[in-house]
Every structure is written in structure tokens, then in C-alpha cells.
A = this chain, B = another copy of it.
């Protein structure tokens, strides 16, 4: 599971959002992020982009636990349902693998808001993750 934490640590976006990877198990991960003015929308709730970013990452890392060590993963598509305004202190995203194909994995994530001890689901994601060889991206590295 070390490579999951290492990969997470290299994600500038997760750091910018204050997100932490709090749980990793085969086919499952959990990511937590504070709701701060810097990540809200114009009405004071968490921006959809925050729920999406941690939900997508939780789902993607759940997928990564299922692919060989010489592969990375990329999200090819992801849909998010926003169930209710995310008003509270923290968001918690639980990602999991619904089906692990060799060429494509189907993943889901549930995102909850924590507001004074009460936990409420605010978003639901479903998406497709593709394993790629480690040297895949054109990032110049």
C-alpha cells in the first residue's frame, strides 16, 4: 500500500485542498478534506469541485490497489450526483471498486459531510478508471 501513499503525496491538488488519505485497503480508500472559505462556492457550501476532486481521487486510488505494480491509473470519465448542499466542517470520500476488469475498472465513491457530529451523504460518484503503464503520461519527466 506504500505506493498509494507515495502517489497521493505527489498530488499537488490534494495538498492545495488540505486533503488527507486516511484509509487504504484492497479495493477501498478514504480521503478527508476540510471545508474552508478557499474551497467554497458563492453560497457558502463546499464547491462541487471539492467533492469531485476527493471523490475522484478516492475512487482512483481504490482502483490503484487492484492493478499491477508497474501500472498507474487514469480516470477516463466520472459522473457526480450532488445530493444536497455540502455545509459543514469536513468532507469524507469513500472510494471503492465495483468491478476490476483488466483493461477498465468501474468505481464508485460516496461523499459525506461532517457537521458537528452529524454525518450526511452529499455526493455520489461513478466512473471508469484505465490502468496505464508507468511511463504513459507526456509530463516530460
Contact = CB atoms under 8 A, between A and B. Distances in A.
Interface string A23-46: 000000000000011111111110
Contact of A85 (B48, B121, B139): B139
Interface residues of A, number: 57
B128 A99 contact: no
B106 A81 contact: yes
Identical chains in the assembly: 4
Contacts of A50: 13, 49
Interface of A: 7-8, 10-13, 15-17, 36-45, 47-50, 52-53, 56-57, 72, 74-85, 87, 98-99, 103-104, 106, 121, 124, 126, 128, 130, 136-141
